[in-house]
Structure 1
């Protein structure tokens, strides 16, 4: 690795993986923790959430240019920002190994990305010690069909072969194929999420359909729940906010079935990966919702109930169903964060109470 003045030389990087390795070396050279880098970036007027930075440095894909610039400045190498950005542009423009390029948001089909079962995806491995937003939580599963065979097990046609043997072989192949189709049908019935009533009085079947979804505040239906940076207490964090729906993708939003009629809300970002919305408990971001890579926590499960007398849903955290997810402030401003607060009593006239706590949920 080439070193210039004690600092890594970005011009030495040939691939995205080498480029990120140099960024890690730059961070190590600075001697600063993720928290201190976040604070240093804020001092320079940059936004560099420590959870985002930890996730970026554990991957082998090119970070966004603004993250690179903020990190280089925070590490005390502001004079080298142009060199780092030029090296990033060179690598992004040239040929690179498949494993070192970010996924193309448009290349993934819906059938591959929509979670295929009621089971929650397994957490990704290798997460940093600090919680990381958008770390991968697992891949969707596909079941191979009979047409996916490569033909390597086919018996070649033999001139003058026994007719009876050939007929028997065809018959066995047909029966085997029919058996495979039957198994695939049974497997599909097991894997596809089903609405069913349970011990909770059928609430699971009464909830919104799982899969690709849009979550829109009832007070401002032209806005959608998505990710955004929020600053509080001298720091910043990626949490759930509302923005115009045209600007809200990526990430794509999925509802995942959990146990006992509950749901998880998963975001799938083409660069940042997958993360489940998690109710935060520490100040200054208490009761906001942050995407986390480990999708097994109770703080990620919500009961979604239809509001009485109005078209809308309430999202109640499992840990305290007296709380409802709402939009902070007046509820209609773009960029306003989603927070959990005490549920408002439904109005006596059946209007559904505080409409900041109501959401329209439908296919994405």
Structure 2
């Protein structure tokens, strides 16, 4: 008769260490608990996470869900052996999407998959996930750690995440009320965020730079600059929604300005963006020069220092509220009648 340890020997010989997985869960329990909000009514380790939403004051609560990953930015995390920021990226990509419709994030679930659990790396990743949840004021309610030998190269892993938020229908922000005359307010990004990294990696490889080099024109290293985590806009935007009329919001992700802004616009309006009306981070100037790209190409691929957009008839009040919460922002354009414009986003470049 096999003892408890012996029962797992055959699976361990095939490459899956159940004991290591259980030990990992034990090591991250405190990280996970640090994210718990009053709605959490379960402990880590169950088959499903339990959450009791606070419906006080809500007439018709709506759940808003989102799912995303970090993409090939992970390749740079592997290369630079820096794993404590990509978890923040993972949370940010989903919670910022949920936030666009005015929803406050309730809870987050993560999925971590690797060929072999190695000490230190999974903990670093989860520490970033927990930090992202704390920043976005949502609970890390559960997740999955999958050890799949032979499926991933040694030292590599993949991440995906899932967020659920809630908004009262009367406060839903869906873009339907966007109208000519509204101002377009751009909220500063922290850097590249988590999109365009197939091109970023190509340009980095061509540059001859190393991770510990000083980034050209910046104050951080190359590794720190390229792995700068995605900014989470939850706190500043939720406060903004309490103070200012907001008709539409945009999370600037893959597809840049040209593809994301139209997603919240009625068919009969367009947005004119005044290029140069906001400061540009050095990393985007470097990418443009290194890749010999035009600014229209850059704005199709990257956030170009604007990670989130708020469309509002009250721009001065919006800027004041955002400043109170430490969020740099600028009026970058306006909503106009579409007329004969073929595209719904027109970038106006200085002559």
* Fold shared per TM-score above 0.5: no
- What TM-score results when the alignment is normalised by the length of structure 2? 0.29
Greater length-normalized contact order (CA 8 Å, ≥ 6 residues apart): 2
- What TM-score results when the alignment is normalised by the length of structure 1? 0.28
